[in-house]
Structure formats: C-alpha cells, structure tokens
Chains A and B, each alone.
Chain A
Amino acid sequence: MAGTALLGRLTWLVAEVTETVTETPRVRTLILDVDGWPGHRAGQHVDVRLTAEDGYQAERSYSLASAPEDPPALTVERLDDGEVSPYLVDEVVPGDRFELRGPVGGYFVWDADALPEPLLLVAGGSGVVPLMAMLRHRAAAGSTVPAKLLYSSRTYEEVIYREELERLDGRGDGLEIVHTLTRAQPPGWTGHAGRVDVDLLREVSFPARRAPRVFVCGPTSFVEAVAEGLVSLGHRPGRIRTERFGGT
C-alpha cells in the first residue's frame, strides 16, 4: 500500500504543518503532524527535504524541539542568505507539507529515567532547540535530576523560548537557567554579558567531580570553544556530547 513504511526501516515521511509560533523576529516554530511518526527521544533530529517544481532538492537537518510526550515540532532560525531556512521561517503556512526523515541519532539524546547524573546544557543561539526538548521532557517526566542551562544569545530579543524558560526556571524542581547576552544588554539586565568562556563555565557549571552529563549545541565555533573550556576544567571528553549546527 502506498505510504506504508516497512517496520523499522527509515524512510521519508510526509509532514504537515499544523501550527506556527513566532519565537523571535528571526525564529519560528513549526508544529507538525507526521503520518507514521514513530515517536522520538529528546535531542534527536530529522532531515528535512524540500523539492522544487523542477525537481531540485535541498536537504537540511533540524532538531526536534518538542518533548517526546508531545507532537513533533521544529524551531528554525532564518539565515538571510540561506537556501532552506528563509522558506521554513517566512513562507510556510499551516496546511503546507514537506518530507522528513527521522527521528535519527542515538548519541545526542537524554532520557529522563535512564540517566541520574546532573544534566549540564550549554546552548548558543538556535543550539537551544534540542536542549529545550530535553528540558521539556525533564518537566513532562517529573524528573528532579539537578539541571543547568547556560544559554548564550546575541540580544534579549533574540532569546528563543524566553517566557517558557522563565516558567521552567520557576518550577523549583532543580533546574537553574543562566543567560548571557553577547551583543547588547537591556537596562537593568542582571544576567551575564559577553561570550561563554572558561570563567563563566567555572562559575555556573557543575564541578567536574559531580560527573554531569554534558550536552553542548550551537554554531560550530561556539561548540568548539565550550567543549575545550569544559575539558580544561576537568570534564571527561567522553561525557561531553556535542551537536555542531555549522556556520562559523
């Protein structure tokens, strides 16, 4: 029968956009209805494939933003000179469809009931997306594993999921969220300013002796700098999982 996926075999599925949420001026979330969606784990991604009328195809990876308890959702940041992201951020409307392959990857994944160690999440820009899936999963599962999110954004307006993060931070269930703004800080800003460096990591992360599970995600250069910083603070490389989004 057409459209029936063989059990266990990864194939391209059709996703229909059911709802869109504007997160920041450059970032939008697409909530999807995917026929045959097998469910996902927090931190996994999908490959999205767009096909033009002339048959030209473009493929990009996007992390799943939603908790495994919720329908699949993607959060995409527009790169002005990009091929795929401007379409997903500015043009797609509910009812539109595109192909996706996934969920994939068993490496950059956090399961609330499997890992009792403290959870340290470090995000740069849209790198917060798979880490948000982990925090949403942690809340949905009622986990009280000690967790920290260190989140670097350029400006206050560009903080993705700002209000939801405030709510999660306020639950008093062992999660602490620390923001740093690299380009500009609003009047009265009490968070950090500037890039994530070794001093900031030392100040806000769990000490290496607590052996946290570490997930770092963002632009490639950000991930590189943070992972090096964490290793210099004594974290074992094998405990640091990275997801480079590309770019500089």
Chain B
Amino acid sequence: MTHLDGNAIAGVLEQLFGRDLTLASSRCTGCGAMREVADIHVYRSAGIVARCPDCDTVLFRIVEARDRMWLDFRGFSSLQVRS
C-alpha cells in the first residue's frame, strides 16, 4: 500500500484535538527525528497508521467508528504546537 502525507488526515486530527495539527512538530521515539505532522507518512485502510519517514517506527494509530475513536500514540515522544 502506498502512503499519503500527514496532511491527508488533517480532518481526523483536528476533530480530535480541536485545532490544526499539520504544522505541529513531532518527535519520533524510534530515531528522535523532529518533523511536521504534515510531513510524516500515513497509511489508510480500515484505520489510520502513521509512520516515521526516517525509521518506519509506528508513530500513531487511529481507528474511527460511528460513535467513537481508538487512539494509540505510542511513537511520539513529544508534540510541539504553537500556542
């Protein structure tokens, strides 16, 4: 399966966090790389899987259902947003 940009899931992220996260900087637990969320690799099928473009570590997973979402943000050691 080919990947999309983090920007492609701007909608899910904004619904979850109440703000645009595509320009937030994230740090990968695998390799420590800092990247804008728009710039990470996203795979969409039944759910969303985001991976680090540098080391392929799974950054987060989101599964959306009709009335709830499941989140697993294991691969982000930090997330920096503009206040």
Contact = CB atoms under 8 A, between A and B. Distances in A.
A243 B22 CA distance: 12
Between B7, B12, B22, B44, the greatest number of chain A beta carbons within 10 A of the residue's beta carbon is seen for B7
Contact of B2 (A55, A104, A248): A248
Contacts of A245: 4
B61 to A, nearest CB: 16
Best-buried of B2, B36, B38, B66 by chain A (most CB within 10 Å): B2
Interface residues of B, number: 21
Given A9-B18, A10-B14, A247-B2, A105 B7 contact: yes
Interface in A190-248: 220-221, 241-248
A243 B2 CA distance: 13
Contacts of A248: 2
B62 interface: no
Interface of B: prevailing SS: mixed
A40 to B, nearest CB: 12
A4 interface: no
Contacts of B36: 107
B3 interface: yes
Given A9-B18, A55-B66, A246-B2, A108 B11 contact: no
B7 A107 contact: yes
Interface in B26-64: 36, 38, 44, 64
B79 to A, nearest CB: 15
A61 B22 CA distance: 15
Given A10-B11, A55-B66, A104 B4 contact: no
- Give the interface size bracket for A toward B: 20 to 34
Contact of A101 (B2, B11, B18, B22): B11
A10 B12 CA distance: 9
B54 to A, nearest CB: 13
Contacts of B7: 105, 107-108, 243
Interface in A1-26: 8-11
B15 A101 contact: yes
A24 B83 CA distance: 45
Contacts of A72: none
A10 B7 CA distance: 16
B47 to A, nearest CB: 11
Given A10-B11, A244-B8, A107 B2 contact: no
A95 interface: no
Interface string A95-135: 00000011011111000000000000000000000000000
A106 B8 CA distance: 11
Contacts of A247: 2
Interface of A: 8-11, 45-47, 55, 57, 59, 61, 101-102, 104-108, 220-221, 241-248
